[in-house]
Amino acid sequence: MPSDEEKLSLCLSPSQPLQHQCGDGRRSLLRKPFDASLGGFGSTLASTQTKNSTQFAQPLSKTDVNRLHCTTIVSNPFQENTFVAHLEGRDDCLIIDPGLEPDKITAYLAERNLEPAAILITHGHSDHIGGNHALKARWPECPLIASVDDAEKLTDPEKNLSAQYGLPITSPPADQTVREGDRLDFAGFELEVLAIPGHSPGHVVFVWKGASPMVVFGGDVLFAGSIGRCDFEDGDFDDLAEAIHSKLFTLPDDTLVLPGHGPNTTVGEEKRANPFVGRPAGYQDS
């Protein structure tokens, strides 16, 4: 019999082959509402990442590879990416979007002798907050930070999309809320908060402009060759596309986007080739 985890995965990620949307089988551009068979909580494209912990798929410049260490910890059943980021010579770090296998995160931090300075949440869907309880239990003084418009999802299984499948997931409440334009300074990172609604109304991304190239901790808005699902009750394709165009595609082309599912990408690559919001969908640089 399937485990509870497998049942939840089947409910939220129907098993229709996702290759219909990529490679030689790329299907025509989707418009809202997206077909619910196109993936789990996050993407309209299947994740190809299978390792439990991987470094950047694309190398950083020599300047930043000596400063930034960022590891991806992939949590099942949704292949959700948790990022642990720290700077050379420091023992404090950021944790972005703790997934449903927090033991992997705590083991990695113990192995590297790292202490979390902040837990950052891009949005309140349960695959991105499932590790919050365990991390706050281990580090109760570490601030849990979410957007003001998605904070209620942390403590509400109906709104974070887990209750309807019989496996309610909750998180401790946010210690701090953020909104568009706020800046966060933790573990040596100064991050700018950008609001990117559409996948979830309160979705935010965290941009580190002090890096060269810039780095976006992007959650479930822009993926390598895809975008976040918009077929949820509070989703909206037009909001997502507009925010990607006006806030992400205006960043330098070499900006690294570290998404909530699948491999890393760059702003320039998605402008050039993304079939939902890039040039194949009619996007033109202003």
* pLDDT of 67: 82
Q: If residue 53 lies in a helix (H) or strand (E), which one and from where to where?
A: strand 53-54
Burial class (CB in 10 A: 0-12, 13-18, 19+), 88: exposed
* pLDDT of 164: 83
* CB neighbourhood size of 267 (10 A): 22
* pLDDT of 3: 45
* pLDDT of 55: 38
The β-bridge partners of 268 are: none
Burial class (CB in 10 A: 0-12, 13-18, 19+), 33: middle
Number of H helices, E strands in the chain: 7, 15
Under-50 pLDDT residues of the chain: 1-40, 43-63, 65
Specify the pTM.
0.82
* pLDDT of 64: 54
Exposed e or buried b for every residue in 9-29, given b needs 16+ CB within 10 A? beebbeeeebeebbeeeeeee
Could you say which architecture CATH assigns to the domain 4-9+50-281? Answer: 4-Layer Sandwich (3.60)
* pLDDT of 236: 97
Q: Which two tokens stand for residue 224?
A: 């390598």
* pLDDT of 257: 97
The residue extents of the domains of the chain are 4-9+50-281
Burial class (CB in 10 A: 0-12, 13-18, 19+), 244: buried
* pLDDT of 20: 22
* pLDDT of 211: 86
Under 8 Å between Cβ of 49 and 82: no
Burial class (CB in 10 A: 0-12, 13-18, 19+), 166: exposed
